[in-house]
Amino acid sequence: MIPVRGVDGQTIAVLGLGRSGMTAAKALREGGATVLVWDDNDAAREGAETEGFEVRQFTKQGAFDDVDLLIVSPGIPHLYPTPNKVIAAAMAAMVPVDNDIGLFFRSLALDGWEELDTPPRVVAVTGSNGKSTTSALIHHILTNAGKPAQLAGNIGRGVLDIDPPEDGEVIVLELSSYQTDLARALTPDIAVFTNLSPDHLDRHGGLGGYFAAKRRLFAEGGPDRAVVGVDEPEGLYLANQLSTGPSDDRVIRISSGQKLSGPGWFVFARKGFLTEWRKGRQVTSIDLREVAGLPGAHNHQNACAAYSVCRSLGLAPRVIEEGFKTYGGLPHRSQVLGEKDGVKFVNDSKATNVDAAAKALGAFPKVRWICGGLEKEGGLGGLTDQFGHVVKAYVIGREAAEFALKLDGVDKEICTTMEVAVAKAAAEAEAGEVVLLAPACASFDQYNSFEKRGEDFAAQVAKVLS
């Protein structure tokens, strides 16, 4: 655990007692603070009391009179669409609001670091799609190369729950917009922006607010190096804002599909090959086409981001390539579940928005597509360019019929449930085709999470493969 610094003798409130909230409460107490907690869930409050924390209802008059700071769990809205009542009360009482990410960055530099040969470094990854894969891939490459590393944040452990880092260790953090939006301290050594597509728009008051939340990772403290995907206007803008000119190699521009060149530092993937270009010349090229854990152009962008980070950390290209080849992928993200009679089954339940689903469809030439769920804002326009890959769509979800109406020009069948969709897709699929779960929707109409949806898909596929 990382004890929180600078809180000894303070009274600090914690709102939300999930994984990050409870870890923050414990780390604050470890740092000498008196910790008060609240969660709307009765069981969560009871659990906190068992851990020795005082429970306080913060919406009562005067509840913040003795409080120095409020720490908020990432899922709780503080501005849009409406501020949570507790957060609104804290702001009215002029109590500063932060989250566990802010606490982490202000507390990581522990006593004794001046004696280390190589101080630990932090890599923080944000963006709309590919954050988890990029973070996990960086961590895998480092550990495969024998480098000490820990994975935390929106993936793995809570940021304050990690072990105090050792000499030369790298902390890899996946950070969502919910986490970067509120953190008062954001000072990674290397920051990564993968891409941007419409998501969580209600939470951020629109696309501009969503991008602004991501941009804070680069603006609040300023990383020593930034790795920026430039395939969208926002990434191109961000790279321009961070760079002092064409030769500024503190910014590594990455792309999936574009050839990038010039006097700066570029890493791009085209036609299945990753290329590093620096100071006007090609440094290396890596064939990604047979890397089983990174199928498709979207994963090639993730590879470019991970490669750029690891090169910044001093790893040789061939060492990184070895890490690519042994990377097995993450569950629910382009996860190959198996193959039968020439038909491959792929679980991309994490494709919860249109952009992610489009990239998943684009990774395979002939797809039996399982899609649908709780549709997000913005419509399905971003999918139409990939409909040529779809042999047939099998639509699930409570609003399956309405979703199916929007799939113009696509052969489709309303299945509603995962069991029916997988059974029909498997029965109709031919050799060389892929049965792909890439819903383009949130899961909450039928499942508690995208993980549960992916697990159901995997269970139904297992019946087919048995």
Task: Supply 76's token pair.
Answer: 């709780």
Annotated binding-site positions: 127-133
Annotated binding-site positions for ATP: 127-133
Please tell me whether the peptide bond between 81 and the residue prior to it is cis, using omega within 30 degrees of 0: yes
Size of the chain in residues: 466
3-state DSSP assignment of residue 259: coil
DSSP string of 372-440, one letter each residue = -SBPPTT-SGGGGGGGGGEEEEEEESTTHHHHHHT-TT--EEEEESHHHHHHHHHHH--TT-EEEE--S
Distance in angstroms (rounded) separating the CA atoms of residues 323 and 310: 10
Strands of the 434-437 sheet, one edge to the other = 335-340, 343-347, 434-437, 367-371, 390-396, 412-416
DSSP, res 6:
S
DSSP string of 34-75, one letter each residue = EEEEE-SSHHHHHHHHHTTPEE--TTSTTTTTT-SEEEE-TT
- Residue 105's DSSP bridge partners are none
Distance in angstroms (rounded) separating the CA atoms of residues 193 and 211: 10
DSSP, res 453:
H
Strands 170-174 and 121-126: parallel
Which among 281, 258, 284, 282 has a CA at the least distance from the CA of 271?
A: 258
